[in-house]
Amino acid sequence: MTAALLRPATQADTQAMCKIYAHAVEHSIGTFEEEPPKLDEMEQRRANLVAQKFPYLVAEIDHVIAGFAYVGPFRPRSAYRFTVEDSVYIHPDWHRRGVGRVLLRRLIDDCTAAGFRQMVAVVGGTDNHASIELHKSCGFDQVGGFQNIGFKFGRWAGIVFLQRALGDGASTLP
């Protein structure tokens, strides 16, 4: 893989991210969203997470956005404040070429530095082997899931939960 420039996503990246995400919505079970968000909605989502100081990254290769990744709160209750949920989306031309791995590793590093203690992945589709294996390659353990919880593309689909500790994890108090 050509070396990717990893950097914080900006408003100028939103159109490229919107296209990448729309492809995922329309062609994969990786997200249970069924209608791609409009550009302004996608930008609002990015801006909201960035305003809360969550990492939101793009991978740029030869001046083209090859993928993006971010974290947000795992759940809204305050006891979850040290746990984040990651999302990784890659342009189809860059699937299985290492872009997801470098983005996820950087997210892990950034979240560890920010003091988060756990990262969770909620993978759409129990047969979404690429995402499951990506997460396992970055130190995640498969910890559970739900069968037939979503309905997309005319079929029932489950989700897989993966988790990894960040920094000291639960071995010390925050």
**Whose structure tokens read 């990784």?**
88
DSSP line for 84-150? EEEEEEE-GGGTTTTHHHHHHHHHHHHHHHTT--EEEEEEE-TT-HHHHHHHHHTT-EEEEEEEEEE
Mean pLDDT, the chain, as a whole number? Answer: 97
pLDDT per residue as tens digits for the range 56-71:
999 999 999 999 999 9
What angle separates helix 39-51 from helix 14-27, to the nearest 10 degrees? 110
Q: Give the model confidence (pLDDT) of 101-116 as tens digits.
A: 999 999 999 999 999 9
Return the domain boundaries, the chain.
5-165
Q: Which residue has the tokens 């995402």?
A: 131
Instruction: Assign 2 a pLDDT band (cuts: 50, 70, 90).
Output: confident
Q: Is the pLDDT of residue 91 over 90?
A: yes
Q: Is the pTM of this model over 0.85?
A: yes
Q: Residue 158 in 3-state DSSP?
A: strand
DSSP 8-state secondary structure symbol assigned to residue 58: E
Domain 5-165 has CATH 3.40.630.30: yes
